């Protein structure tokens, strides 16, 4: 028999020995026990039940091999909502929650007088952006697209679990929108933007889908594809919102200026002060 504290300390020690930090074991225990942190602290000297200890230690073994906590749990929290994840989708990131918050603010500021607002999330993955937006702003008519049929399956399941109606379509970048002759107020994308040769954390490269990560030689391939065709799917008065890499402002700004010399645009910093979002406005 062992206490919560003993089991946790042991897990943290194993993770530290592998240079994997000591954060995840506590978060994992919180999720498995379904407790708030302050309640778990109160329980620390209690004995942990055997089945729970077994599940926990099996999970810690997988984490010690670099597997992300979200894969072991089978879900991740995003904008306060729970999203199923598996190796076919990018695990939604906290930075992307900030993108959602800025899009909601822009909706209020720019489109609040309209009866309907039409939006699309290109490269939707788990559906995190589209579903969180629909939960927060039910008046949005939003759909999601992805090249990966496996990802779209996860997104559909997440829409059901979160009780929203969001259509998800398999297809290449803007093609599904063009095929359906849709005219959008808002085009959103967190495309794959990592340069092909970039060195990355092992837990990301080994466990997350490469189709979700890499954006060609300079990481900007998908922005070019979208910039090239976006006017076909956007209303005259409309906007685009993108996530981007922290060091991509310069080349992206050059692209924006060459594709849209007359458009207003802004780069927005995330909470850690890095420029991680690009918003482009057409006639608004």
Interface residues with ligand GLN (CB under 6 A) are 93, 190-194, 204, 213, 243
- Measured CA to CA, the distance from residue 168 to residue 176 in angstroms comes to 10
Shortest separation between residue 155's beta carbon and ligand SAM, angstroms: 9
Shortest distance, position 214 Cβ to ligand SAM, whole Å: 9
Cα torsion 240, 242, 246, 252 to 10°: value is -50
Report d(CA 159, CA 168) in Å as an integer: 9
**In angstroms, rounded to a whole number, what is the distance separating the alpha carbons of residues 165 and 116?**
15
User: 187: closest CA among 246, 111, 118, 283?
Assistant: 118
Of 10 and 86, the one with the shorter C-beta distance to ligand SAM is: 86
Q: Which residues bind ligand SAM (CB under 6 A)?
A: 89-90, 92, 96, 123-126, 128-129, 145-148, 151, 172-173, 190-192, 211-212
| CA-to-CA separations, 151 to 3, 91, 141, 171, 208, in angstroms, rounded | 40, 11, 21, 11, 12
Specify whether the CB–CB gap between 11 and 21 falls below 8 A.
no
Q: How many CB atoms lie within 10 A of CB 253?
A: 14
Q: How far is the CB of 53 from ligand GLN (least distance, A)?
A: 32
Beta carbon of residue 15, minimum distance to ligand SAM (angstroms, whole number) = 25
Minimum separation from the CB atom of position 108 to ligand SAM (A): 21
Shortest reach from residue 14's CB to ligand SAM, in Å: 29
Query: Quick one: what does residue 25 bind among ligand SAM, ligand GLN, none, with the CB cut-off 5 to 8 Å set by partner type?
Result: none
Q: How many CB atoms lie within 10 A of CB 174?
A: 23
Binding partner of residue 194 among ligand SAM, ligand GLN, none, CB cut-off 5 to 8 Å per kind: ligand GLN
59 is in the binding site of which of ligand SAM, ligand GLN, none (Cβ under 5 to 8 A by kind)?
none
| DSSP-derived pairing of the beta strands 234-243 and 184-189 | parallel
């Amino acid at each position: 028999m062992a206490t919560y504290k003993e089991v946790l300390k042991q897990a943290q020690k194993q993770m530290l020995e592998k240079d994997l930090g000591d954060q995840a074991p506590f978060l994992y225990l919180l999720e498995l026990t379904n407790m708030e942190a302050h309640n778990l602290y109160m329980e620390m000297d209690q004995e942990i039940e055997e089945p729970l200890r077994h599940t926990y230690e099996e999970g810690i073994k997988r984490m010690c091999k670099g597997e992300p906590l979200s894969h072991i749990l089978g879900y991740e929290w995003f904008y306060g909502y729970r999203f199923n994840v598996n190796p076919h989708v990018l695990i939604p990131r906290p930075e992307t929650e900030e993108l959602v918050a800025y899009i909601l603010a822009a909706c209020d500021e720019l489109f609040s007088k309209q009866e309907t607002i039409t939006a699309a999330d290109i490269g939707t993955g788990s559906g995190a952006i589209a579903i969180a937006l629909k939960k927060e702003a039910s008046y949005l008519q939003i759909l999601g697209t992805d090249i990966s049929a496996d990802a779209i399956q996860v997104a559909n399941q997440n829409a059901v679990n979160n009780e929203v109606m969001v259509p998800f379509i398999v297809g290449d970048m803007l093609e599904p929108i063009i095929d359906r002759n849709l005219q959008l107020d808002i085009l959103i994308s967190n495309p794959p933007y990592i340069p092909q040769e970039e060195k990355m954390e092992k837990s990301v490269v080994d466990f997350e889908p490469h189709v979700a990560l890499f954006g060609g030689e300079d990481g900007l391939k998908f922005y070019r594809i979208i910039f090239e065709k976006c006017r076909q799917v956007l209303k005259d008065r409309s906007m685009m919102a993108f996530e981007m890499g922290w060091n991509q402002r310069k080349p992206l700004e050059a692209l924006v200026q060459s594709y849209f010399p007359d458009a207003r645009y802004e780069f927005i910093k995330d909470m850690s002060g890095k420029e991680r979002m690009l918003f482009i406005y057409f006639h608004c």
